[in-house]
Structure 1
């Protein structure tokens, strides 16, 4: 097993105050490994980065969602803003279901202004506000349309989850040997970081239902994430980019020509994902000089309400 490498550093007063280790792999247009750092072959948990493949599995099973905005929400880790919650609830209503059918945990919105309004109004936790509610609503819609039981839709042996497992294994090229439970309650399948990059490459190159999922996400990036989120910004600014974060410092992305990458921050730090994403795009030759992505590439460190340092990629980390 290859050890993780320093990927992101926190610099204050000219001194490195902290460092985030991790692993990353970049695939070229033909799917060959362009460059890699750290352990990219061992099984790891991709978390929510595989939501596009889960949405693809639902389409392959026979799910019909005429509005691609609903499909984008089905692959989302959203903020729980009103537009996210209302769309997830609408998917449930169209299939004769209510919030009570969801098996994801109740939560407060991740979007801070929305959460503050909820707290001020005394609104309690809601399953619809949980960041995976769109995926769960789409899963339930699939079950209703195909006549599958809805009560145990998260069981790893449910036909819905068996289809997801098969799709993830197929696109990643990895044999799945470890299954656990994700934070939202759905089955979570371990694959390699290289397999995750291959999965994203397949989402943008395979066409058909896979292409429809990718197009839905790229057309509706706000539904995939929300306000002030890296996925929203990246897919809005970089033409044709497919980007999806996952918990514990995981990130995967792919360009329309098939170049793809996957990143895992060893300590699970979410703040380290963005700088690495920008460095990956730089390595692919993408022009990211626009100011809109600067706040992702180098995140300021404040001291006494003044900028005193920066969080940035370690120079040469992906060289």
Structure 2
């Protein structure tokens, strides 16, 4: 297993995060890889844009801003919650119809938990609205055998170019499909540089990055900073992104620790020749070193740094 990120405290390497990473070309071929990128993993919420694609194909009708929310792992900020509730209302449903568990907004840890504040509520509202549009039952919409979930599995398999290896249960209660990092990257490339409905998913997320995550989140910050970037993270250290030409990256941190993801995202974008907008440079530079992660008495005393394995794999050596 390859070390991807080192945690450095006072000049001393304190911890190391291992993982796997793949870069695919616009035609879906593997350009570079680190570790095992062909065995199945759970993509977690990185799968949401593909789930949304299946919803659109099954009859979901939403504006692009609401489509971005359907793809989101949002903070539960007021506009996120209000949009999820409005999507349900237009379908003749209520918050009680959501199967995702109650949760608190990220920015209000003392708030009363509610289902609409859970980060997956946009996806679940989209699933329910799709069921109404298609004439499918709503009570069991998260059952793997439900017509919606079968349509999602078929769409995901088509986009990743491989069979689904395993079906589990995600943290929000929806079916969770396992497949390879290579398949995940390939699918993101097809969304980012595709046409028709797949391209609409990418364009909606790129046009409304705040709805995809929220204030201060890496997906929002980086999509705002890099024109044409499509990005979606998932739990347990999974992340995927694609450039406008269809070049795509997917990785998983083996121990699932989220702190390693931002440095990898920024460094991989840099190695691929992507430069953030000037107004976003400070925020992106802080993400690159994990600012605020390695502290002592409330001040930074270290940083996170990406190992040379990533540059070596991409053939840059720098």
Q: Please tell me the TM-score bracket, short chain as reference.
A: over 0.9
**Alpha-carbon distance between aligned partners in 2 of 1:157 and 1:259, rounded to the nearest angstrom:** 34
Give the match's secondary structure for 1:115: coil
User: How high is the TM-score relative to the length of structure 2?
Assistant: 0.94
**Alpha-carbon distance between aligned partners in 1 of 2:240 and 2:253, rounded to the nearest angstrom:** 12
**Alpha-carbon distance between aligned partners in 2 of 1:317 and 1:6, rounded to the nearest angstrom:** 9
CA displacement, residues 149-197 of structure 1 (integer Å, 9 cap, x when unaligned): 0000001111110111011111111111310100011111110010110
Q: Which residue of structure 2 aligns with residue 168 of structure 1?
A: 156
For the 8 Å contact 2:231–2:241, the answer to whether it is kept is yes
Q: 1:251 aligns with which of 239, 264, 270?
A: 239
Q: Which residue of structure 1 aligns with residue 55 of structure 2?
A: 58
Give the match's secondary structure for 2:250: strand
How far residue 214 of structure 1 moved from its aligned partner, in angstroms, is: 0.6
1:125-136 counterparts in 2 under 5 A? 125-136=113-124
1:211-230 counterparts in 2 under 5 A? 211-230=199-218
Q: Which residue of structure 2 aligns with residue 44 of structure 1?
A: 41
For the 8 Å contact 1:36–1:318, the answer to whether it is kept is no
For the 8 Å contact 2:70–2:122, the answer to whether it is kept is yes
**Alpha-carbon distance between aligned partners in 1 of 2:241 and 2:16, rounded to the nearest angstrom:** 23
How far residue 31 of structure 1 moved from its aligned partner, in angstroms, is: 2.6
Q: Which residue of structure 1 aligns with residue 290 of structure 2?
A: 299
State the superposition RMSD in angstroms: 1.2
Give the match's secondary structure for 1:299: coil
CA displacement, residues 250-277 of structure 1 (integer Å, 9 cap, x when unaligned): 0000011010000100000111111111
**Alpha-carbon distance between aligned partners in 1 of 2:284 and 2:139, rounded to the nearest angstrom:** 43
Q: Which residue of structure 2 aligns with residue 231 of structure 1?
A: 219
Unaligned runs of at least 5 residues, structure 1: 119-123
Give the match's secondary structure for 2:275: coil
User: How many pairs were matched up?
Assistant: 307
CA gap of 1:179–1:318, structure 2 versus 1, over 3 A, is: farther
1:177-188 counterparts in 2 under 5 A? 177-188=165-176
Q: 1:109 aligns with which of 85, 105, 112?
A: 105
How far residue 32 of structure 1 moved from its aligned partner, in angstroms, is: 2.3
User: How high is the TM-score relative to the length of structure 1?
Assistant: 0.94
Unaligned runs of at least 5 residues, structure 2: 313-318
How far residue 96 of structure 1 moved from its aligned partner, in angstroms, is: 1.1
1:99 maps to 2:95: yes
Q: Which residue of structure 2 aligns with residue 81 of structure 1?
A: 77
**Alpha-carbon distance between aligned partners in 1 of 2:155 and 2:272, rounded to the nearest angstrom:** 27
